[in-house]
């Protein structure tokens, strides 16, 4: 991958850097859905790496556009995000974000060099699917489980599992050495974690009960990369559902 600051070449001007990053972004295509945390992760990384100007298409889950031929051709799982750089397909948000960070040196560095910081970053980053899964199990219970198969005991168990998971993260944030989930610097761990945290609040999670989580959410929601990629459907209708009230 082209290094922007090669020692053999004179330094590039701001305008040249912008032109180069624009050219790189033109080789990228993202098919995405509004409000989807995995889609949001890739969009945050693209902003952090100054890769604006990529080809993108907003598709509707309601209209089942994630099962359209255009998506299925790129992603046989029929899921969003579907992403490619040149002809390299990276449909999984973790794969795409790690690839972008390793291939593009410009913009913000999202994996720290310090071994201790890096270890914590990877640990938190790969714990995020646990958090996300437990939240999704509660939110999508009625949608996923047919009426005849629903049980109050399962709802209770799922909510308890989510509560325990949230307590774990509240504790992590309490012990963190900085404002980010893996310490002093914004990293891929935040890229993975923040969209799921925002999803919690979108679904009626109470800010007062977990002050560290609320502070984390409120401090990051105005970060430029996050603000620029805020789900458009959430902007259109700021009031979400209250499925997580009482958690
Ligand atoms: N592991 C994938 C998960 C992607 C995913 O679950 N996408 C959801 C939207 S958030 C989707 O497309 N669901 C529709 C379906 O599975 O049919 C990633 O992290 O990118």
pLDDT per position in the chain (247 positions), as tens?
Answer: 444 554 567 787 878 877 777 778 999 999 999 999 999 999 999 999 999 999 999 999 999 999 999 999 999 999 999 999 999 999 999 999 999 999 999 999 999 999 999 999 999 999 999 999 999 999 999 999 999 999 999 999 999 999 999 999 999 999 999 999 999 999 999 999 999 999 999 999 999 999 999 999 999 999 999 999 999 999 999 888 899 998 9
Residue 246: inside a domain:
no
Q: Exposure of 65 by Cβ count < 10 A (0-12 exposed, 13-18 middle, 19+ buried)?
A: middle
Ligand 1: which atom is nearest the Cα of residue 94? 19
Instruction: Write out the residue range of the structural domain in which residue 211 sits.
Output: 115-236
Ligand 1: which atom is nearest the Cα of residue 129? 19
Whether residue 22 is found in the same domain as residue 97: yes
Residue after which a domain boundary falls, among 54, 78, 103: 103
Residue with tokens 């509707």: 60
Q: What pairing do the DSSP bridges indicate for beta strands 82-85 and 55-59?
A: unpaired
Partners of 83 in the beta sheet? 30
Residue 245: inside a domain:
no
Q: Exposure of 191 by Cβ count < 10 A (0-12 exposed, 13-18 middle, 19+ buried)?
A: buried
Q: What pairing do the DSSP bridges indicate for beta strands 55-59 and 28-33?
A: parallel
Residue after which a domain boundary falls, among 43, 77, 103: 103
CB 74 within 8 A of CB 22: no
Which residues form the pocket of ligand 1, taking CB atoms under 6 Å from any ligand atom?
33, 36, 38, 66, 78-81, 92-94
Residue nearest to atom 13 of ligand 1 (CA): 79
CATH number at residue 185: 1.20.1050.10
**Total structural domains within the chain:** 2
Residue 173: inside a domain:
yes
Q: What's the gap in Å between 79 CA and the centre of ligand 1?
A: 5
Which of 79, 92, 130 has most ligand 1 atoms within 8 Å of its beta carbon, as the pocket-test mutant?
A: 79
Token digits of residue 24? 């790189």
Report the predicted TM-score, pTM, of the whole model to 2 decimal places: 0.93
Whether residue 48 is found in the same domain as residue 147: no
Residue after which a domain boundary falls, among 50, 70, 103: 103
Peptide linkage before 81 cis (omega within 30 of 0): yes
Q: What's the gap in Å between 81 CA and the centre of ligand 1?
A: 7
Q: How many CA atoms lie within 13 A of 7 on its CB side?
A: 0
């Amino acid at each position: 991958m082209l290094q922007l600051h090669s020692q053999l070449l004179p330094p590039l001007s701001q305008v040249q850097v912008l032109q180069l990053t624009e050219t790189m972004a033109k080789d990228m295509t993202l098919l995405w859905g509004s409000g989807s945390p995995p889609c949001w992760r890739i969009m945050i990384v693209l902003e952090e790496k100054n890769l604006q100007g990529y080809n993108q298409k907003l598709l509707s889950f309601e209209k089942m556009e994630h099962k359209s031929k255009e998506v299925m051709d790129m992603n046989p799982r029929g899921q969003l995000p579907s992403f490619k750089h040149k002809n390299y397909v990276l449909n999984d948000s973790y794969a795409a974000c790690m690839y972008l960070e390793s291939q593009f040196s410009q913009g913000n560095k999202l994996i720290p060099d310090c071994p201790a910081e890096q270890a914590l970053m990877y640990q938190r980053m790969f714990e995020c699917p646990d958090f996300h899964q437990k939240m999704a199990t509660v939110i999508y219970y009625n949608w996923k489980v047919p009426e005849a198969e629903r049980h109050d005991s399962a709802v209770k168990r799922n909510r308890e599992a989510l509560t325990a998971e949230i307590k774990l993260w509240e504790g992590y944030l309490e012990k963190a050495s900085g404002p980010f989930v893996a310490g002093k610097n914004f990293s891929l761990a935040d890229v993975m974690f923040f969209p799921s945290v925002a999803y919690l609040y979108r679904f009626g999670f109470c800010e007062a009960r977990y002050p560290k989580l609320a502070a984390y959410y409120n401090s990051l929601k105005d970060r430029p990369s996050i603000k620029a990629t805020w789900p458009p459907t959430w902007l259109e209708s700021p009031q979400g559902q209250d499925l997580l009230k009482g958690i």
